[in-house]
Chains A and B, each alone.
Chain A
Amino acid sequence: QKEVEQNSGPLSVPEGAIASLNCTYSDRGSQSFFWYRQYSGKSPELIMSIYSNGDKEDGRFTAQLNKASQYVSLLIRDSQPSDSATYLCAVKNPNTGKLIFGQGTTLQVKP
């Protein structure tokens, strides 16, 4: 079992729709979770961090964390073509402090 798992996609949504990206993790002791956006050939860019169960909203982005079920998700409301990118879920290992990345989900927003 991979430490951090994401569906590679591509996830295709029409412009204006809500995109839902999901991530599961294996270490129940994990406390810190991050979402990065990566455009092709570019570096990962931090868009959200979440540490407590529940929802955290920042503009069009909402991160959701459920530690009991060991999943974290990212919702993008009013999706725009410029949101088309790969979204990386990252979980910090509670013992080593190392950030472990999922393989990423490719999102395509179609005009």
Chain B
Amino acid sequence: EAQVTQNPRYLITVTGKKLTVTCSQNMNHEYMSWYRQDPGLGLRQIYYSMNVEVTDKGDVPEGYKVSRKEKRNFPLILESPSPNQTSLYFCASSLYQGDNSPLHFGNGTRLTVT
């Protein structure tokens, strides 16, 4: 089944403890992206990657890191999480970043930082 898989689905952590949220897609998509979703703010892009070893900042990249060493994987790294990073996170992918390529979303990761 074609899908975007995120793990974990739920994560509770404390301020400053490094964490990684994994994302993997099995559709051979070139483009991958991370979003966070907060009430009243909608979906905001954190980072994106147009292909292996190519990543770029989205609208809200502060406090996050990403890597794209393989085409299928695009982990999101929080080196020193803070409470304002408590949010619902989505990984998404598309065949390419071209006009007609829709985004496919993972199931989401709900992160709580205390």
Residues of A within 8 A of B (CB): 31-32, 34, 41-46, 49, 51, 88, 90, 92, 94, 97-99, 101-104
Contact = CB atoms under 8 A, between A and B. Distances in A.
Contact of A97 (B42, B97, B104, B110): B97
A49 B100 contact: yes
B25 to A, nearest CB: 13
A43 B98 contact: no
12 contacts: A31-B99, A32-B99, A34-B102, A43-B106, A43-B107, A51-B99, A51-B100, A88-B42, A97-B97, A97-B98, A98-B58, A101-B42
B99 A99 contact: no
B42 A43 contact: no
Given A98-B48, A104-B42, A42 B108 contact: yes
Contact of B107 (A31, A42, A92, A97): A42
Given A44-B90, A88-B43, A104-B42, A99 B103 contact: yes
Interface residues of B, number: 21
A42 B6 CA distance: 13
Given A31-B99, A104-B42, 14 more contacts: A34-B103, A41-B88, A43-B90, A43-B108, A46-B103, A49-B102, A51-B100, A88-B42, A94-B99, A97-B98, A98-B45, A98-B58, A99-B103, A101-B42
Top 5 closest pairs, chain A to chain B, by CB: A97-B97, A43-B105, A101-B43, A32-B99, A103-B42
A97 to B, nearest CB: 4
Interface of B: 31, 40, 42-43, 45, 48, 58, 88, 90, 97-100, 102-108, 110
